A and B are shown apart, each in its own frame.
Chain A
Amino acid sequence: MLEVQHLHKVYPNGTVALTDVNFTVNDGEFLVIIGLSGSGKSTLLRCINRLIDPTAGKILWDGVDVTTAPAGELRRIRRQIGMVFQQFNLVKRSSVLTNVLAGRLGYANPYLSLLGIWPPAERERAQRALTRVGIADKAASRADALSGGQQQRVGIARALMQEPKLILADEPVASLDPVLAHSILQYLEQLNREEKITVICSLHFLDLVHRYATRVVALKDGQVVFTGLPQEIDRARFKEIYGEEAIEVRAGMAES
């Protein structure tokens, strides 16, 4: 269970990103965070695994406060939390397999990993993760030789290597076209349902929210303006969150 309590974040240049954010995520939820660009979604996700240090407040992960965890403890927390990024954040010049193996760094022998030596078991695990996201044949390719959708699958495979209890997904489909968006989110949904991995995902499109979320948190100007079930978000609410001029954009028709 993840509890976010009175979270504040002010950047050194004075930008206020988050103001008194409170919510709880139960195990097994598929929580979607919505909001305009700049509403604080990315900052919030990065505060959870402390890629960004919050200014004030607490984040309790299974009762342990992430915000005050010392370096070693923080790394152990981080390795239970996978992360998927909008820009995929792969090392473009490295091979797909190396990128996936990098997800295992939190578990690996720190010295052997520096030499680039991985036990066969880990290599097999990486191969399995790639098979799971359907690109086993690309293991030896350079990451930048892959298409956007394929790169994001590598990103998910990398997160899988962590055997995560929680996956943070920061706009995982914003750089992809609608059909690919569904296929990526379906992988996340599958992980959520079958492996009981909690997912916290920020999304842009209302129809994707309706389709995948089990619960929704809406941010506006760094504050939580709505918490509830996806069905409760209708056009009126949507306009309230996104402002008057917003038009609901559909993320395509691909629907099973």
Chain B
Amino acid sequence: MNSPARGAKLPRALRTILIVIGVLVAYVIAYRGSEVDFPRLIGSLGKGGPLMQDFLTPDLVTREIQPVTLQLALPVPCGSAPEGEVPASGPRLVPGVPCAELRDKFTVEGIDLAPNTELQLRWRLPSDQYFPGPFISTDADGHFSAEFEARPIVATKDGVPSKIEVELLVPVGGPKPSAAVFEVLDAIIVTIFMALVSTTAAVVVAVPLSFLAARNITRRGRAGTAIYYITRTTLSVFRSYEPIILATLFAFWVGFGPFAGAIALAIVTVASLGKLYSEAVENIDPGPMEALTATGANRLQVVLYGVVPQIVPDFLSFTIYHWDINVRISTIIGYVGGGGIGYYLAQMINTSQNNKAGTAIWAIVVVVWAMDFLSAEVRKRLA
């Protein structure tokens, strides 16, 4: 009595074991196939640091740079001319002694200069000519200290003392948007347009196709059935490819630029929207059509008043949803196809201008976010 139950139970346990083994094997194969190497990830995580740092400090603002000369009068010998005054704050030169006798050695300090910068110190002689001094570099606080010697050439002449001089590059004026901001703005507008144009073009093609791919409309008779299956299959085939793959082919055909990306995007969008639309068409409630036919309306009127109102909200909602998706895809499609923010990003990364790449990435985040929000809002209203 018990044996049939037992017999049924055993294969089930066996099946579970087989499934578990199968999953384990699949994971082992997948683990090897994806060349998983976490020690390497952890060991070289530091390599990503500078890159991330550049991305997180995007190139947004710039200030105009102007050369500024700091001067300090140093009479040699003492009393031959008035001593130079040292300002209390700001970038300044501070001498170890207020004046010097011939052949004296003294130090000069620089305070509040640009940090970690190489500078050349020099004398400006009473004759207005230069006499080069030492090369120095400032520390992280913008401070340096240099040795000077009061050579005879720097002696005061006709009551005019020689001056110690250093030329600095100082940012002046308020911050303003950097060139990268404008370049990114250009690229991102082109990206949004790329998505808009390809989505619109795709809608125009997808609407008629969706009726061909709708079971309840097309699948009548042998020819209709054939059309239905051919359309469906074609749509499925093109839906299987990421637009970026097709973009590389079109870049070969029509040349690099947003156009190649837009065509590729349009093709995949046609395939995707065609399917979504056709499902909306298949879900039409025949009730209203029946009712309209019963009132004596003609075929066109039935379609206009019975079918169109049913599908338009769905169609609109799908279209906006796809525009949103297409903006996301356009951000990368330029990476291979040329054009838009993806192309800019590729250029910046290939030339290691990672701060500018950071600007592009943040622009992508903002735009995708905004599109996401807008599309959700509009679809909420349509639903």
Whether chain A touches chain B in the assembled complex (some CB pair under 8 Å): no
